[in-house]
Amino acid sequence: MSTGPDVDLDAIAREGLMAPPGAVTPAHDGSGRVQLSFTVVGGQDRSVRVPPGVTVFDSASWNGIAIDSTCGGHGTCHKCKVRLDVQTPVSRHDRRTFSPTELEQGWRLACLATATRDLAVEVPPLTTRPKAATVGVGRQVILRPAVQKRYVELVAPSLADQRTDLVRLTDAIDDLEVTVDLAVLRRLPVVLREADWKVTAVVVDEALVDVEPGDTTADRYGIAFDLGTTTVVATLLDLSTGTPVAVASRLNKQQPFGGDVISRISATMMDPDALGRLQQLASETLDELALQVCTEGGVDPAHVYEVAVAGNATMTSLLLGIDPEPLGVAPFVMPTAHPPVVLASEVGLHLHPRARVALFPALGAYVGGDIVAGMLATGMDRDKRTRLFIDVGTNCEIVLSDGDTLVSTAAPAGPAFEGGAIRCGMRAADGAIEVVRVDPAEGTVVLGVIGDTTPRGLCGSGLVDAVAELVRVGLLDASGRFVTADAAKESLPLLADRLTQVGEERVFVLHRPTPDAEVADCVYLSQRDVRELQFAKGAIATGWALLLEQLGLEQDDVQQVLLAGSFGSYLSPASAIRIGLVPKIPVLRIVSAGNVAGEGAKMALLSVRERVGAATLLDTVEYVELSDRPEFNDRFVDLLSFPGGA
């Protein structure tokens, strides 16, 4: 029973999913993008593009759209109701939840509905005040934020009751142990008297950070930051409900100092002023995003009491103004694995004046807090399956778990995935080709372009797609060389004229702006681009191959590959298999995990228990240094070729 490439309908049926009469959802082959248009009743409408195969629930959650849930996306709470504009497969859980009429109307459980085509999704308002939130890859987090608020109505002092102001307050919140600093002590007598002894105590961890007049318990917010080298993402969270209020992202303002961590470290080594400037730019990036999410969410920044930051070791050091030089030279030593808690104001954030910043701990100079956050979000230490986590980027971090043991490594992939060192490369912005489909029979090249506009260049996922497609149709051989012009004319006559030259270099034209445009003015893939991609994927494949060996596993043993990060999540799984970036396993086992660093940061804000879990991961995961391994070079050379398939 099979309807398409790598789609096992028996497996789908075993999970209780079956197509109803009239269902039009096609089986997906892991390629392209689908667009989900969310209509949020009582909220903001949003359109998002995700790789096919992601659930509607995850697509919403990654983009800050709250859908009811108390089970963590396991299909048991039956709360994640949404209405889709087309008939999609109905699970047994859907049948238990909805009447036949409702099913006919398109109602489904969002965590079981897979996005395999463009969908319009109606999201009802939240009905429950959750005790838990679903974040990351199906992780269920019991809400226990470090930020606590208590509204108290105190008895005014008298000659018979001369307790101090502080004792009067702490006696009323005796379920919390608090410490107090001078800034709060200065405010305390004034606020208590002006507010007629009706106040809200704000406690973060054990620190009494403020006493606010009246009852402000409903206003309790935090911001989770994914502090990436390229992109920074902020999510404003309502800590009372665990729901995202607003999400925003922007390029890291440190970009002028170079696209990767090494160039930023080098800048600090060459210019004594660079460290201060880089710190300031990191602060400005976070502060502007904080203001943006607060404005969009209609939240007073003074009600944001805590910030969690997941960043790599270099980004974390630069934000704190710590010299990153030792991270960039052997033996690659971090200043600390556990950055201290600092005040948000100390890193330039204009939030509550005593808001705290919790920074993720790091495993090593090149497996930083962003990856620890990612492991937390994907539950790498809690799943018995053999899972491979790959955060694809300039520096690619890889974690493998066999259900018991966790090993990790970092592979230097270079800038190809960010569009760097690619002739027509660009970032994933409007005009970037992100999807490429080649039809040799029709002689067509169909392009998916971000912003649905005229193609201007090729971003990382477009590069992977272009190479994978040209390998598939036979214009690139397994060694990564374009076939000869004669061979192309003979086997692929309708595409052969796209295979041409710019100067001495052979290129394949993807987009010609006008019929008589010079090749140099076209968007094309060059032979050198293919080589850049080969080196990048060779480094990554060597990383996971050596980790598999370390645990005595074969490619086939991998039950799930999680492609993570702002680039990895948008890779076509089918293309990733075809170029050998991931192990050769059925495409449905390859999952786009989304921005897991940001998800981990959200978890840390929502639960002190999860925060402890992140610290514990440091004792659980073994770091494997690849450059120490004698077999690294041979294995790298072996893995440069393209396996094809998928």
Q: How many residues bind ligand FES (CB under 6 A)?
A: 11
Q: Does position 18 bind ligand FES by CB under 6 A?
A: no
Q: How far is the CB of 177 from ligand FES (least distance, A)?
A: 35
φ, ψ (nearest 5 deg) of residue 527: -60, -40
**From candidates 109, 188, 245, 581, binder to ligand FES by CB under 6 A:** 109
Q: Does position 115 bind ligand FES by CB under 6 A?
A: no
User: What letter would DSSP give residue 41?
Assistant: T
Q: Does position 496 bind ligand FES by CB under 6 A?
A: no
Q: Does position 378 bind ligand FES by CB under 6 A?
A: no
Q: Is 64 left (phi over 0), alpha (psi -120 to 50) or beta?
A: left
Helix (H, G, I), strand (E, B) or coil at 231: strand
Q: Does position 614 bind ligand FES by CB under 6 A?
A: no
Q: Does position 341 bind ligand FES by CB under 6 A?
A: no
Residue 210 has, within 13 A of its CA and on its CB side, a CA count of 23
**What are the E-state strand segments in 92-131?**
107-109, 119-123
**What are the E-state strand segments in 129-261?**
132-135, 139-142, 147-153, 179-180, 198-204, 207-213, 221-227, 231-238, 243-251
When the beta carbons of 78 and 95 are compared against ligand FES, the nearer one is 78
What are the beta bridge partners of residue 123? Answer: 40
Q: Does position 136 bind ligand FES by CB under 6 A?
A: no
Query: Which tokens in the block code for residue 223?
Result: 């911001």
φ, ψ (nearest 5 deg) of residue 452: 45, 50
When the beta carbons of 80 and 471 are compared against ligand FES, the nearer one is 80
Interface residues for ligand FES in 62-101 (CB under 6 A)? 69, 71, 73, 75-80
Residue 587 has, within 13 A of its CA and on its CB side, a CA count of 24
The letter for the amino acid at 445 is: V
Q: How far is the CB of 83 from ligand FES (least distance, A)?
A: 14
Instruction: Tell me the per-residue interface mask from 516 to 535 with ligand FES, x by CB under 6 A, - otherwise.
Output: --------------------
When the beta carbons of 76 and 484 are compared against ligand FES, the nearer one is 76
Q: Apex CA 458: angle with CA 455 and CA 464, to 5°?
A: 135
Q: Does position 565 bind ligand FES by CB under 6 A?
A: no
Q: How far is the CB of 109 from ligand FES (least distance, A)?
A: 5
Q: How far is the CB of 77 from ligand FES (least distance, A)?
A: 3
User: What letter would DSSP give residue 598?
Assistant: H
When the beta carbons of 93 and 472 are compared against ligand FES, the nearer one is 93
Whole-angstrom distance, CA of residue 417 vs CA of residue 270: 27
Whole-angstrom distance, CA of residue 369 vs CA of residue 376: 10
Q: How far is the CB of 545 from ligand FES (least distance, A)?
A: 36
Query: Which tokens in the block code for residue 491?
Result: 């086997």
Whole-angstrom distance, CA of residue 292 vs CA of residue 281: 16
Q: How many CB atoms lie within 10 A of CB 359?
A: 26
Q: How far is the CB of 259 from ligand FES (least distance, A)?
A: 38
Q: Does position 489 bind ligand FES by CB under 6 A?
A: no
Q: How far is the CB of 611 from ligand FES (least distance, A)?
A: 24
Q: Does position 141 bind ligand FES by CB under 6 A?
A: no
When the beta carbons of 111 and 274 are compared against ligand FES, the nearer one is 111
When the beta carbons of 12 and 77 are compared against ligand FES, the nearer one is 77
Q: How far is the CB of 98 from ligand FES (least distance, A)?
A: 12
When the beta carbons of 230 and 378 are compared against ligand FES, the nearer one is 378
Q: What are 478-486's contacts with CB under 8 Å, separation 24+? A: 478/641, 478/642, 478/643, 478/644, 479/640, 479/641, 479/642, 480/530, 480/531, 480/534, 480/640, 480/641, 480/642, 481/527, 482/506, 482/508, 482/527, 482/530
Q: Does position 374 bind ligand FES by CB under 6 A?
A: no
When the beta carbons of 69 and 285 are compared against ligand FES, the nearer one is 69
When the beta carbons of 111 and 267 are compared against ligand FES, the nearer one is 111
Q: How far is the CB of 600 from ligand FES (least distance, A)?
A: 20
When the beta carbons of 134 and 408 are compared against ligand FES, the nearer one is 134
When the beta carbons of 79 and 168 are compared against ligand FES, the nearer one is 79
Q: How far is the CB of 26 from ligand FES (least distance, A)?
A: 23
Q: Does position 460 bind ligand FES by CB under 6 A?
A: no
Yes or no: say if 402 and 411 are a contact pair by the CB < 8 Å rule: no
Yes or no: say if 217 and 149 are a contact pair by the CB < 8 Å rule: yes
Q: Does position 410 bind ligand FES by CB under 6 A?
A: no
Q: How far is the CB of 36 from ligand FES (least distance, A)?
A: 16
Query: Which tokens in the block code for residue 185?
Result: 């002590």
The number of residues making up the chain comes to: 646
**From candidates 34, 60, 111, 471, binder to ligand FES by CB under 6 A:** 111
Cα maximum dimension of the chain: 103
Q: Does position 59 bind ligand FES by CB under 6 A?
A: no
Q: How far is the CB of 409 from ligand FES (least distance, A)?
A: 34
Q: How far is the CB of 76 from ligand FES (least distance, A)?
A: 6
Name the residues that contact ligand FES, by CB under 6 A: 69, 71, 73, 75-80, 109, 111
